């Protein structure tokens, strides 16, 4: 069964949210310099690259990364394409067959280059998120930088996810992956009190 790696690589070239901490990689020991092993240190925002948002990221009373239910990030998922839009609306989603879908991944095509931060990425209308919650969707993934617009301060889509019990994956690499049903594997790190975590997200074909 084919695997699709839907994670972006992490490096110093990885685009990051303006004002957030970038990814850095620093060698601390090298075999070539006489050390017994190669070692390095990394520093990053947990929202660099492909990542999970913990509910605590947008709600002081929300679950932190070490508290979220792991089963949400593992299981059947449907990938759909909604490209060329400023935002994903409820009408866009009503046009799709999402019967029985618990994990929905949306390819917007608005962030094609992981080294460039596109401020005009496609975001989600709060009504669209509420519609997904009513259908039973419990995880929403996007290839965009966020489910909310770049300029949003009140984060209506994030808060609709909070109200509807939907967890969030952002910055997925969905280019070149056919739409359809897959098994999703996108486990976050067990970061105590964490507001987010990098994930190595994978889609496995279902046969």
Catalytic residues: 57
Q: How far is CA 195 from the centre of its chain?
A: 13
Distance separating alpha carbons of residues 120 and 55, to the nearest angstrom: 24
Structure tokens at 107: 């390819």
Report the b/e string of 3-35 with b at 16+ CB within 10 A: ebebbbebeeebbbbeeeeebeeeeeeeeeeee
Where would I find the beta strands (DSSP E) of the chain?
3-5, 24-29, 39-43, 51-53, 74-81, 87-88, 103-107, 123-124, 139-142, 167-170, 180-185, 196-198, 202-205
* Contact call for residues 147 and 33 (beta carbons, < 8 A): no
Q: What are the backbone dihedrals phi and psi of residue 166, each rounded to the nearest 5 degrees, phi first?
A: -105, 130
């Amino acid at each position: 069964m084919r695997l699709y790696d839907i994670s972006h690589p992490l490096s110093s070239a990885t685009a990051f949210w303006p004002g957030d901490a970038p990814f850095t990689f620093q060698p601390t020991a090298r075999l070539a310099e006489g050390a017994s092993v190669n070692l390095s240190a990394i520093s990053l925002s947990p929202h660099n690259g492909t990542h999970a948002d913990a509910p605590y990221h947008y709600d002081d009373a929300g679950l932190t990364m070490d508290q979220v239910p792991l089963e949400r990030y593992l299981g059947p998922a449907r990938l759909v394409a909604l490209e060329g839009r400023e935002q994903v609306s409820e009408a866009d989603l009503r046009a799709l067959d999402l019967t029985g879908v618990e994990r929905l991944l949306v390819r917007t095509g608005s962030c094609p280059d992981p080294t460039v931060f596109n401020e005009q990425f496609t975001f989600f209308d709060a009504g669209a998120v509420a519609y997904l919650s009513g259908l039973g969707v419990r995880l929403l993934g996007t290839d965009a930088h966020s489910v909310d617009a770049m300029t949003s301060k009140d984060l209506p889509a994030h808060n609709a996810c909070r109200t509807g019990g939907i967890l969030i994956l952002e910055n997925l690499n969905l280019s070149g992956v056919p739409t359809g049903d897959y098994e999703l594997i996108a486990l976050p790190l067990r970061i105590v009190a964490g507001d987010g975590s990098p994930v190595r997200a994978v889609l496995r074909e279902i046969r």
